[in-house]
A = this chain, B = another copy of it.
Amino acid sequence: MLKLVKTTSRKAGLPPGSPVFIGEKVTETFGLDMVDYDTENISLTTPVRLEEFHLLKKKPSNTWIRIHGLHDAQAVDRFCLGFGLHPLTIEDILHTGQRPKIDHYDDYLFLVINLINYNDATREMSMEQISFVLGPSYLLTFHEKDDDIFDDVLARLQTNKGRSRKMGVDYLLYSLLDRVVDNFFSVLEKIGEEVEDLEEELIAEPTPETLQSIHTLKREMILLRKSVWPLREVINGLQRDETAFMGEAIRVYLKDLYDHTIQVLDTVETFRDIISGMIDIYLSSVSNRMNEVMKVLTIFAVIFIPLTFIAGLYGMNFNTSKSPLNMPELNWYFGYPFALSLMAGTAIVMLIYFKKKKWF
């Protein structure tokens, strides 16, 4: 299950801007690869020395550097300081579990977003923080793990399909964010299937496990929502950005991306409403079942209680020889048939009563 809060106690008491990694300890080594491209050429390398980055900053071509393995806080800190990032930026990169946000610095735009992954096998969601640093001609992306979410964007760059090579790093940033939003749609689609499975289960035969699943789903929606609401603000912030980092030509794309984010949000809210309704259905089906159990008990009890009473009556040991008033029925010729008929009659009257009450 998704953790509610990341362990932040390691940080409390340290000065603001301390480069401490906060997140799950995954033994992933620090690594990076760099893509340098313009309309004509594209190269994919893994530079080692810091000076190479400084040279790139001055080149007119576009550069995209993917950094993964935030676990190694020292390495990330050294790289970022070398790149001239603000200490607060570095803190936010390393302190994963951030709320998505956009920060404007003089030299660059800084974005944090959450990527949600859905594991088909375990039906569980996991969350990863991805940070973006957009400079005039470079884009840095920081990943917790060496994931493959942006591989197809890279493939498009390499095969020079679409507009990607013709436009700048702002379009690249847009493409990556579009990929992230598309990923939300995929997750929602799978959750939608789960919701529909659960709805069928609810109607067919709800069990306490169904309720458990509904609550897990509800909790996932709470956490999903917590990622998408601020993402909307981030993309809106990009749209309204008045610095030079996002070109004018990119506006129409951002508007489209914003609309898609709203649609994700809308779907999340719809799911929340539907899941709330499912809890109601579950609870009322539990009541209905209880009602049915009660009815069966009541029908049996109410039919047999008078019969047992009659049987008990004629089981009394009053001495018939002492008085003609003492249980003369016992000595009647038709005594037993009379008692049986009395019982049958009582039972039939009861059954008619229940039929009229529509209890079965």
Residue of B nearest to A281 (CB): B215
Closest-CB distance, A1 to chain B (whole angstroms): 9
Which residues of chain A from 86 to 144 have a CB within 8 Å of any chain B CB? 86, 88, 91-92, 98-99, 101, 103, 105
List the B side residues contacting A327 at CB < 8 Å. Answer: 317, 336
| Chain A, interface SS category | helix
Q: Is the CB of B304 within 8 A of A11?
A: no
**Is the C-beta of A25 less than 8 angstroms from some C-beta in chain B?**
no
Closest-CB distance, A310 to chain B (whole angstroms): 8
List the B side residues contacting A295 at CB < 8 Å. Answer: 293
Given A195-B4, A282-B284, A301-B300: A314 and B316 interface contact (C-beta under 8 Å)? yes
**Is the C-beta of A288 less than 8 angstroms from some C-beta in chain B?**
yes
Complex CA gap A212/B199 in Å reads 11
**Is the C-beta of A29 less than 8 angstroms from some C-beta in chain B?**
no
Interface size on A, residues (CB 8 A): 121
Q: Is the CB of A311 within 8 A of B319?
A: no
Complex CA gap A20/B80 in Å reads 40
Which residues of chain A from 161 to 218 have a CB within 8 Å of any chain B CB? 161-164, 174-175, 178-179, 182-183, 185-186, 188-189, 192, 195-196, 203, 205, 208, 211-212, 215, 218
Q: Is the CB of A286 within 8 A of B287?
A: yes
Q: Is the CB of A189 within 8 A of B311?
A: no
A312: which of B4, B288, B315, B333 is its contact (CB, 8 Å)?
Answer: B315
**Which of A42-50, A51-59, A68-76, A250-258 lines the interface with chain B?**
A250-258
List the B side residues contacting A323 at CB < 8 Å. Answer: 332-336
List the B side residues contacting A271 at CB < 8 Å. Answer: 4
Closest-CB distance, A266 to chain B (whole angstroms): 6
Q: Which residues of A are at the interface with B, using a C-beta cutoff of 8 A?
A: 3-5, 7-9, 11-13, 15-17, 86, 88, 91-92, 98-99, 101, 103, 105, 152, 156, 161-164, 174-175, 178-179, 182-183, 185-186, 188-189, 192, 195-196, 203, 205, 208, 211-212, 215, 218-219, 222-223, 226, 230, 252-253, 255-256, 259, 262-263, 266-267, 270-271, 273-274, 277, 279-291, 293-298, 300-302, 304-309, 311-320, 322-323, 325-327, 329-337, 339, 358-359
- 5 nearest A-B residue pairs (beta carbon): A311-B312, A314-B316, A15-B162, A5-B192, A297-B298
